[in-house]
Amino acid sequence: MQETKDFSFFNYLNTAATPIVIAEAGVNHNGCFEEAIRLIDAAYEAGAQGVKFQSFKAEKLALKETPKVPYQLKDEAHKGESHYEMLKRLEMDYCSMQKLKKHADARGLLFLSTPYDPESARELVKIGVGAIKVASADLIDYSIHQEILRSGLPLMQGLGMSRDDEVESLVNFYYKNNPHYPIVLLQCTSNYPANPLNANLNFIPCLQEKYPQAMIGFSDHTNGSETACLALAKGTRVFEKHFTRDRSQSGPDHKASCDPQQLKEYIDALKRSDEILGDGEKKIAEEEKKMRRISRKGAYLCVDIKFGEVISEDKLQFTRPALDFPMSEVYYLLGHKASHDLNAGHLLRKDDFLEESC
């Protein structure tokens, strides 16, 4: 049975007081290390709990004749380049990743990167990441998953472009080796930006039911925060959001990413939504207490009552205010004897009834 190296990352996600937002810097550094550092700082200042990049080697990820996907063709500044040339321009080497992790650690941010080949996965394990996020496209790349399984690190898996049976096969691959393997499944729609109508957030409870040991999150490619807030209401606690320092920059992902101010607003919206959703326990809100004392009814006598006389419903009027003695607290005592003389207009309390008659 495969043993996991460290559950701390997974436990942190499960026990965090607020929703976890991982700022997906991706390749929005444009291949520039200094810009990647600035992205980490921007993620920290916006209030994100983590930052994520991408680890790949162009020659292992794409053939030189591989075409760009439609959203990448919108980058006018690099209109003539191939998919391979784009990837080559955006590579970040091992030493740079080490330094980026060190900088993220100093900021108190979770550091993640998505490997697109087994070697990149091994490099991420070597630099000490707390988990490995696998891209939706590589859900079925078991050469990468085998490396993750060997590492024992928690898996975060995007579910874009996948069928239900493919997800099930992957989860079983991990659970077959360790029934308690820490897995985060991220509901996702693989387009940049994605149409909110394709978010299929009602699939989230299905994932929770089918994989109760896994944690369910949302890799959000939509614009704005509305879809994420709805995902939160469906039970997700981990969110991934693409961001850049400047949406006007040239590059494949900038225009589909939020800027630092939008990222801050996104995080704030999730925190506010989390507060609105509450803790699931029914209790009296502080702002309700005064209303409760006045608008709830109390049990008032409409006639005088003598000691030992039976207090019956026909001698009462149920009316506002209840103050601290709502009718529900004394109603079940009706039919029992008075503990002392009582005047009409008196608000009944429990001590107005003889204990022996009760």
Are 190 and 136 in contact, with CB atoms under 8 Å apart?
yes
Residue 109 has pLDDT above 70, yes or no: yes
Mean pLDDT of 229-240: 97
Mean pLDDT of 75-87: 77
Of 244-253, 304-313, 349-358, minimum mean pLDDT range: 349-358
Distance CA 187, CA 263 (A): 19
The DSSP annotation for 176-191 comes to HH-TT--EEEEEE--S
**Cβ within 8 Å of residue 117, ≥6 positions away:** 56, 57, 60, 61, 143, 144
Mean pLDDT of 275-283: 94
**Cβ within 8 Å of residue 15, ≥6 positions away:** none
Are 206 and 187 in contact, with CB atoms under 8 Å apart?
no
Distance CA 253, CA 275 (A): 31
Residue 274 has pLDDT above 50, yes or no: yes
∠ CA(37), CA(43), CA(46), 5° rounding? 140
Q: Give percent of the chain with pLDDT exceeding 70.
A: 95
Tens of pLDDT along 26-45? 999 999 999 999 999 999 99
Residue 224 has pLDDT above 50, yes or no: yes
Are 331 and 352 in contact, with CB atoms under 8 Å apart?
no
Distance CA 155, CA 165 (A): 18
Average pLDDT score over the chain: 93
pLDDT value of position 358: 55
Tens of pLDDT along 121-165? 999 999 999 999 999 999 999 999 999 999 999 999 999 999 999
**Could you tell me the sign of the dihedral formed by the alpha carbons of 288, 289, 295, 297, in that order?**
positive
Distance CA 158, CA 194 (A): 14
Of 115-124, 134-143, 243-252, minimum mean pLDDT range: 243-252
5 pLDDT band, cuts 50/70/90, is very low
Of 6-10, 56-60, 135-139, 167-171, minimum mean pLDDT range: 6-10
Residue 7 has pLDDT above 60, yes or no: no
Higher pLDDT, 306 or 5: 306
Residue 179 CB neighbours (<10 A): 9
2 pLDDT band, cuts 50/70/90, is very low
Are 231 and 211 in contact, with CB atoms under 8 Å apart?
no
Q: How far out from the chain centre does Cα 7 lie?
A: 18
67 pLDDT band, cuts 50/70/90, is confident
The domains found in the chain, sorted by start residue, are: 9-277 (3.20.20.70), 286-352 (3.90.1210.10)
Higher pLDDT, 73 or 111: 111
